[in-house]
Structure 1
């Protein structure tokens, strides 16, 4: 999350010709354009892939029809690379709008509508045997309480196994620059290779602990169930290969609340989803062995008509 104060932007916009001013270079840039009717389009441009919550705090606001208060915080989501956030309209169309603003952004769509009983595939090729453990929240070691809904999975394999997508989504972040240090046992290590996927409903799935150099997807790529992402890797000195999986969503709308430590820990809600196993829909139990499986209905449950037609042709 970043907060960027746009300095010296309190102006009475009396210009007739359109003009665009923008902030310093950032992963997310908020710009504004004054139109000939003295309305103001507030736009965004972002380098980041995926959906982001953005809060724009107007510290001073005058001659604005939308909001009568001199202070106002807009909250909304932005997608894509460029677009319009909102339009300010003048009360008096013969005068410009006076304003200054700052903004913050954070990954995720707040409080997405999640389909109950949605079934995920295990994140491995069909027939792969894996052991599953529930992971503890390691922040407790530093005196921090666990998020209210904490849930994370550790999948253990005897050798490097292909990791596949559990459901359809868009790859929004890839990290593949770390080589595992197998000389030490780590309770916590954030130098791990990861793939983050955003699903259609706004949930996010973080796949963590890939073998160095094995990730085979790119940011912006759409993946389907069973699309290969990479290979399981080492986390520490253990000879076991691991994959860590977190499924979560953003559950705050006002980003200033993140300044509070408790709110930081609970900014996201974690999901304990149903997985497909032996023809049934189950919650994964810690310490149990599972065998990955799939069927056409689950693979195509979020496909478009074109994707279903293409998939049907591929299996005939």
Structure 2
């Protein structure tokens, strides 16, 4: 493979950005007709975390649907919709298709929320703003709110969680030598859903990620070891939220469609600034204080943390 081919192995960010589970279908909707002639729609999912599902009814008789056909699914085997017959003596006629995407639609979040750097307390890192690779290599338009970072360390180092959350996706497949690659789409990934519904995506781990799906992590908890790309050790980080459920349009025209996710410009706690936006290409030292760790803990979690 020549250098140009290697450089074009870019990370493609689109509808599938936050859907990295490939070995089995991660989401399925089934329907059941009940004895009272109602219809129950049930979501089955293999990954933890929140999904948004959009229904498209091609046929819908003897019932009514209130509001938009967009639903939030948080748990496996979630009965997220029940259709009741208008005429209780007759069955409901229906047929439907559906689309789904990871994330809670339009979650309420604070743009001023304070995060830890993705390395242990006292670690010095270089923060570099990343470009939108779809624009660089495939002619797409960079989202207006685009913000992504690459955090570099001098040597291989442990990547840590920036905020409390649930690990909702782990991709731990690749064990290839990426030292000389400028970019590669074959990257080990961890996605963490935060309590407010935002998502942190960490990309660029060595094979052997430490955490499992469904696990709760707190600021400073170890996730894995960063990998080397383009002769530098680092991890990529983006913080996003689902802002649109126009999944069908994005799938039909992925190049021309707007991102379904919004991108958050985070405030970080560092030794230089206890609450600030990072400056591109500048070095920072991680500061993970007890207050930052306990910020979103429950009383029980604080009590257990104090025992360590």
Query: TM-score over 0.5 for the alignment?
Result: yes
How many angstroms does 1:265 deviate by? 3.9
Q: Does 2:219 correspond to 1:220?
A: no
Deviations 1:25-82 (A, max 9, x none): 9422212222222111111111122111101111111111446xxxx96101111211
Aligned residue pair count: 284
**Aligned partners of 2:179 and 2:228 also within 8 Å:** no
Q: Does 2:118 correspond to 1:123?
A: yes
**Aligned partners of 2:140 and 2:256 also within 8 Å:** no
Q: Where does 1:22-171 land on structure 2 (aligned, <5 Å)?
A: 26-66=25-65, 74-140=69-135, 141-171=137-167
Question: Which structure would you say has the larger RCO, counting Cα contacts within 8 Å and 6 or more residues apart?
Answer: 2
Deviations 1:282-304 (A, max 9, x none): 10110111000111111111101
Deviations 1:150-190 (A, max 9, x none): 1110111111111110000011111122124346332x311
CA distance in 1 between counterparts of 2:248 and 2:217 reads: 33
CA distance in 1 between counterparts of 2:227 and 2:219 reads: 21
**Aligned partners of 2:245 and 2:260 also within 8 Å:** no
1:190 maps to 185
CA distance in 1 between counterparts of 2:117 and 2:179 reads: 30
How many angstroms does 1:262 deviate by? 6.2
CA distance in 1 between counterparts of 2:37 and 2:256 reads: 39
2:223 maps to 229
Counterpart of 1:270 (choices 245, 252, 263) is 263
Unaligned runs of 5+ in 1: 3-24
Matched position secondary structure for 1:280: coil
**Aligned partners of 2:62 and 2:90 also within 8 Å:** yes
How many angstroms does 1:263 deviate by? 6.7
CA distance in 2 between counterparts of 1:244 and 1:212 reads: 15
1:247 maps to 239
**Aligned partners of 2:26 and 2:47 also within 8 Å:** yes
What's the TM-score once normalised by structure 1's chain length? 0.85
CA RMSD between the two structures = 1.9
Matched position secondary structure for 1:310: helix
Matched position secondary structure for 1:257: helix
CA distance in 2 between counterparts of 1:162 and 1:35 reads: 52
Matched position secondary structure for 2:227: coil
What's the TM-score once normalised by structure 2's chain length? 0.87
Q: Does 2:207 correspond to 1:208?
A: no
Q: Computing the radius of gyration over CA atoms, which structure comes out larger, 1 or 2?
A: 1
